Amino acid sequence: MSVRVRYAPSPTGSPHVGNIRTALFNHLFSRHHGGVNIVRIEDTDRSRYVEGCEEEIIESLQYVGVEWQEGPDVGGPSAPYRQSERKGTGLYQPIIDRLLSSGAAYWAFDTTEELSEMRDYQQINKQPIGYYGGVWRDAPSSKVEEARAAGLPGVIRLKIPRDETIVVDDAIRGRVEIASNGVDDPVLIKADGMPTYHFAAMVDDQLMGITHVFRGEEWISSAPKHVVLIKALGWEPPVFVHVPVIKGKDGSKLSKRHGDTACLDFRRAGFLTEALANFIALIGWSPGGDRELMTMDEMAGAFDIKGIQPSPGIFDIEKLSWMNGNYIRQKPIDELAPMVRDYSFCSENQAYWETKNPAVASAMRLLVGTWQKDPDLVKSAIGLEQERVTSLAEFGTACEFFFVDEVTFDPKAVEKWKGQEHVPKMLDAFLEFFSGKSSVSTSECESLLRQFQEANGFDKLGPIVHPVRVALSGKTVGPGLFEMMSVLGPERIVRRLERAKEVLA
């Protein structure tokens, strides 16, 4: 039997990384088995529908590199792929009729007040809270007909059997047994006629031939309801794979107060597709052994449900950053440079940093502005910063000193070299060397500084290099000085040296 899996988000907000991780597992699993991955939009709750959300879902999926063969955007043999549209085709009706006539489901006309009173009572009496039948589960058909004729708003509920053990087979945890008496009767069809998740998802999974259902762990407690439903319909349940949740640093479920959680925020923050995908796949999944840095192909090749951890994992942004830096370093410069340019140019990314850290946003704009005038300068600068940066966003601030007209001096750096005897003399000598030149090579710069070192009796290069670095970049840290000088070029060097003479005098 060929594998068919589905990612079934509801369009209620921008997808969370945990959610997208489930989508990634679907992708990896279907690729591993040469199966089909389906995207299905679960939009049965009209009150929670968020406009534009479907686009964000698609974008998030594309960002992490998830591919699908059937979905609302590409169509497919099981179309439509939005539950609201599926409902419109009337495909749920015959199934619900079957359930009703076999007695597996029943109409219930409780009002919201009655339901909340019931829960209060259960709460006070320390009983399990939920709907276990009320007056409708076994009501005579005449009473139901009466209520329907009177036009009372009613729902259709699934009749969970009494005194039985419901078995849920979970591919990660194994066999889970639940006493049916603790499972309440779920609503299948709401008063507005829309199906609930419990009903629509199970029916659609069946109709779409889904073989494995990957979903969040939070679904495990409603899984018994799903197996009862499926059995009542005479179907074979799919393999359930309840993937563990992702938690924040403090151990609670990942949420807004942990910082970024929406998948697309990570793109805005400057994380590479490869890094995010690799990182989230490894929260909760391990290929076994010591493998960590993996391409999508490698992950798909190694993917196995047995490698999925049953325990929840914590999202560690530090490790993500390390991975991101790793992938950035691997990029050939011809690929990296345009990537940094596009990233920095994107107004959505700039807006993101504008609220998070305006200095980063302005550095990004400066990078783009400079690119338009002198792309080679920017490319070279990116090349020099490539190995000391951990996100696309950092290139702006890291390269900033290359692009500014006037460097910002780090007071501590100035403090250290200001007034040192050899400094003014050295600056003058170099000024003279660079004046009128049109370009310099790295090796020319190196020999210039080394000659000065020897001529002036310094046994180390430090006292020469450090003040010059401060003079040219304003900072104490950065790329190799000679490479930096070559990239800056004589013209900028001269201008900066002149200004530094005053500052460091």
Partner RNA sequence: GCUCCUGUCGUCUAGCGGUUUAGGACAUCGCCCUCUCACGGCGAAGAUCGCGGGUUCGAAUCCCGUCAGGAGUACCA
The residues annotated as belonging to the active site are: 256
Position among 101, 112, 142, 438 found at the interface with RNA (CB under 7 A): 112
Smallest separation, CB 245 to RNA (Å): 6
d(CA 485, CA 443): 10
Q: How big is the CA angle at 67 (ends 64 and 70), to the nearest 5 degrees?
A: 140
- Which residue from 399, 278, 388 is spatially nearest to 329, judged by alpha carbons? 388
Minimum gap (Å) between residue 355 Cβ and RNA: 26
Residues making up the chain, counted from first to last: 505
Closest CA to 169 of 239, 216, 267: 239
203, 283, 360, 472: residue in contact with RNA (rule CB under 7 A) = 283
Nearest to 11 by CA among 35, 37, 61, 46: 46
Q: Does 15 bind RNA (CB under 7 A)?
A: no
- Among 187, 302, 340, 426, contact with RNA (rule: CB under 7 A): 187
Residue 503 CB, nearest distance to RNA (Å)?
19
Q: Determine what percent of the chain falls in helix, strand and coil, rounding each to the nearest 5.
A: 55, 10, 35
- For RNA, the binding residue among 6, 7, 10, 31 (CB under 7 A) is 10
The interface mask with RNA, positions 362-401, x = CB under 7 A, is -------------------------xx-------------
In this structure, the number of other CB atoms found within 10 A of the CB of residue 63 comes to: 18
35 or 284, CB closer to RNA?
Answer: 284
312 binds RNA (CB under 7 A): yes
In the region spanning residues 457 to 476, those forming contacts with RNA, defined by CB under 7 A, are: 460-462, 465-466, 469, 476
The residue within the footprint of RNA, chosen from 13, 65, 76, 130 (CB under 7 A), is: 130
- A 10 A CB-CB count for 384 gives 19
Confirm or reject binding of residue 227 to RNA (CB under 7 A).
no
Least separation in angstroms between residue 384's CB and RNA is 9
* Interatomic CA distance for residues 221 and 191, integer angstroms: 24
Binding to RNA in span 132-161, by CB under 7 A:
153-155
- Smaller CB separation from RNA, 168 or 368: 168
Contact 226, 235 (CB under 8 A): no
One of 54, 56, 70, 110 touching RNA (CB under 7 A) = 110
3-state secondary structure 451-494: HHHHHCCCCCCHHHHHHHHHHHHCCCCCCCHHHHHHHHHHHHHH
Nearer to RNA, 98 or 388 (CB): 388
Given candidates 27, 479, 493, 494, which one binds RNA under the rule CB under 7 A?
479
Q: Which of 160, 426, 481, 500 binds RNA (CB under 7 A)?
A: 481
For RNA, the closer of residues 352 and 434 by Cβ is: 434
**Which string of x and - marks every residue 192-221 that binds RNA (by CB under 7 A)?**
x-x-xxx--x---------------xxxxx
Determine contact, residues 49/83, Cβ cutoff 8 Å: no
Interhelix angle for 333-345 vs 347-356, to 10°? 70
CA distance 442 to 221: 65
Count of positions on this chain that bind RNA (CB under 7 A): 91
Tokens of 295: 């391409």
User: What region, left, alpha or beta, does residue 289 occupy, with left being phi > 0 and alpha being psi -120 to 50 degrees?
Assistant: left
- The residue within the footprint of RNA, chosen from 282, 299, 336, 487 (CB under 7 A), is 282
| Binding track over 421-460 against RNA, x by CB under 7 A | ---------------------------------------x
Work out whether 311 is an interface residue with RNA (CB under 7 A): yes
Phi and psi at 286, nearest 5°, equal -140, 135
